[in-house]
Chains A and B, each alone.
Chain A
């Protein structure tokens, strides 16, 4: 996703001389081509994210479109107050880009895992929150943000779901993409972990359970209509995120549906439950440890449907 983002920025920079990319010393060579071509549109600000965010606000208030770019929590939690006061309060045209959303940085450790960012960033007034699931969504979200004016957060995952785009499909910010139709259960995922949802859906289909799979690439604003339809048309909703269940995608969906007065048959939030992702291993391994891989998703679906069936049987027996 990182490369898709950089490619998009590199493509668009010539037409957008106001575009500036700031990094807190985490270019990791992947920015080299961009830097070589657009030295005046790049700045490595050093390991100083609070200053980076304030600089970005100052530059944006003077007409620049500024991307701040770093990994994990560094461009967000470290400088949250600068984002709140300098960027959001001023409606400054700053796009915050996190590479390594969720547990992307695997064995690097919990300090490099971004697992509360969606909850925190979406609570900020005026902030858009994008968390693409595949490379197409990542590139399209980046393209949208170059032209959009105002604060936004783009969370990029190391993993990516397989691209599943209809010919001619347009990226619609603020909308949920239905990547697979089904009526038994809805799997609503954000980020690369959508790939696990698709694998689970494949396995469940073999058992005759058909999942609707939703890619929630925009966590804020949230597409309540698509979620409400899923609540009414399918047996229940399972939210899936590489993130704390509190306040993240699951929190956002439950808030939206409660307020809309639409209640799914059941609702399960899959994510980290009051825990740090401190086990040591790859992103894939960590998904298994924290019950967020395809097998865990399939188990959750089966368990909920079985519970529903039990209840039905009990009622019938009376």
Chain B
């Protein structure tokens, strides 16, 4: 697969992934476009630059692990894996999302896509699993790392903070969490529902290395992942500042598009913007 550090190439891949997300959710007439679009650069940077993995050999023992804890952003994961060339995520079937017989369940499901590390969907659970994998790598003397993407609404779950305490106390420095901080959750703005601020201070107080990249600036993400890799003795969290619905004017920062698919006319307009 075409791994690259080149910003123009990565941006082009991100644009293609955005088009997939719009088309998939439009075809499905349901799904979560907003929180998928906000995480595009994070996943593209991970899969096309940062992570060691081999789509031709998905169970390669030394691969880096990835868990999408905010499982409702499945469309971005499916589109990115499809662009990487994983055999169990065919590009030409992306538009079967949520349809009968599709491998593309509403939330990532390892029974249909064995290349996934974990099936997710119920919020708050992925960080613990990722840290369990990180512990396993350490116990087994392996160099591979584990990446886990969390939603901002998701980290209202108490289990996240159990895991955060554990990860820091046990110095699980081979795990990197990324909070897709788009500031919108299902019912509205995070600040109106249950404010997370001061978010960076919270993670620091829990003992994590905190980096705050612009989650739509690939160079900023690359730098943050490099800092995470260089951080020893504690885990790192990237609080990726993002915009829900990023890339589609009428979806941006609009809580409506958390869990509502675009209409055919909206798909058409969005694809024009993403041309």
Binding site for B on A (CB under 8 A): 20, 40, 43, 45-46, 48, 50-51, 53-64, 81-82, 85-86, 89-90
Report B-chain residues with C-beta under 8 Å of the C-beta of A57. Answer: 118, 128-129, 132
CB pair A48–B166 under 8 Å, yes or no, is: yes
CB pair B125–A81 under 8 Å, yes or no, is: yes
What is the CB-to-nearest-CB distance from B112 to chain A, in angstroms, rounded to a whole number? 12
Binding site for A on B (CB under 8 A): 110-111, 117-122, 124-137, 139-140, 158-159, 162-163, 165-166, 169
Report A-chain residues with C-beta under 8 Å of the C-beta of B120. Answer: 85
Report B-chain residues with C-beta under 8 Å of the C-beta of A55. Answer: 128-129, 131-132, 135, 163, 166
Report A-chain residues with C-beta under 8 Å of the C-beta of B159. Answer: 48, 50-51, 54, 82
Report A-chain residues with C-beta under 8 Å of the C-beta of B122. Answer: 81, 85
Using known A-B contacts A48-B162, A50-B159, A86-B118, determine if residue A58 contacts B139 with beta carbons closer than 8 Å: no
Report B-chain residues with C-beta under 8 Å of the C-beta of A62. Answer: 132-133, 136-137, 140
Report B-chain residues with C-beta under 8 Å of the C-beta of A61. Answer: 117-118, 129, 132-133, 136
What is the CB-to-nearest-CB distance from A80 to chain B, in angstroms, rounded to a whole number? 11
The 8 nearest A-B residue pairs measured at CB: A58-B132, A54-B128, A62-B136, A51-B162, A48-B162, A55-B132, A58-B129, A50-B159
Using known A-B contacts A90-B118, A90-B119, determine if residue A59 contacts B162 with beta carbons closer than 8 Å: no
Given A54-B125, A62-B133, A64-B136, 18 more pairs with CB closer than 8 A: A48-B159, A48-B162, A50-B124, A51-B128, A57-B129, A58-B128, A58-B132, A61-B118, A61-B129, A61-B133, A61-B136, A62-B137, A63-B136, A63-B140, A85-B121, A86-B129, A89-B111, A90-B119
Query: How far does the alpha carbon of A55 sit from the alpha carbon of B148 in the complex, in Å?
Result: 14
What is the CB-to-nearest-CB distance from B194 to chain A, in angstroms, rounded to a whole number? 19
Report B-chain residues with C-beta under 8 Å of the C-beta of A45. Answer: 166
Query: Which B residue sits closest to A47, measured CB to CB?
Result: B162
Using known A-B contacts A61-B117, A64-B139, A86-B125, determine if residue A54 contacts B133 with beta carbons closer than 8 Å: no
CB pair B133–A50 under 8 Å, yes or no, is: no
CB pair A85–B119 under 8 Å, yes or no, is: yes
Query: How far does the alpha carbon of A63 sit from the alpha carbon of B128 in the complex, in Å?
Result: 16
